[in-house]
Amino acid sequence: MNVRKIVTLVEELLVEGGRPVVPAARVAVVAAVIDNPWAGRGFVEDLRPGIDAHASDLGKLLAGRVVEALGAPVEAYGKAAVVGLDGEIEHGSALIHTLAFGNHFRAAAGATVLLPAVEKRAGSGTPFDIPLKHITDATVRSHHQSFEVRIADAPHAGEIVVALAAAAQGRPQQRLTPFSAER
């Protein structure tokens, strides 16, 4: 796996809706910009060799870094793959939609539910939103949120951006009723 760069973003939201957020709401994202192992090879029928060669290492690389960057227990999480224009969306999906990738983040976060995801094909600098959900109960409404990411020079045409996002809480100032209380 050839990693061109790793980008780490940490946001602390201090005010939402005109009111203080106490404690500050923290979200961290760690993204790796890697060479697309399938780009330039035409249609590749069997993606398994590339998945086996890269997915687990990529998950291991990102999971510890995003938990460390968050600096707090993870309550919500998500993942993303943005494939450069010379690749297929399936190339990003192949790397992130496998237990070999996701289990590293689940273990690091103490999570039990599947990671919500976004995949797209785009040029360098295209914004993408990473969906996040609660780490043990996907029905917890307060933790359904998204975080926008943009890497100015990625992905190049033959690259993939693979990112993990972690939040230390649900949406700031959330006030929707739980699913069980809805009429």
Enclosing H/E stretch for 33: strand 19-35
User: What's residue 175's pLDDT?
Assistant: 87
When divided into structural domains, the chain yields a total of 1
- Residue 171: give its domain's CATH number: 3.30.1330.110
What's the pLDDT tens digit per position in 84-120?
999 999 999 999 999 999 999 999 999 999 999 999 9
Residues of the domain holding 54: 3-181
Which residue reads 């330039």 in tokens? 40
**Are the C-beta atoms of residues 34 and 58 closer than 8 Å to each other?**
yes
| Peptide bond connecting 131 to the previous residue in cis, omega within 30 degrees of 0 | no
What's the pLDDT tens digit per position in 111-160?
999 999 999 999 999 999 999 999 999 889 999 999 999 999 999 999 99
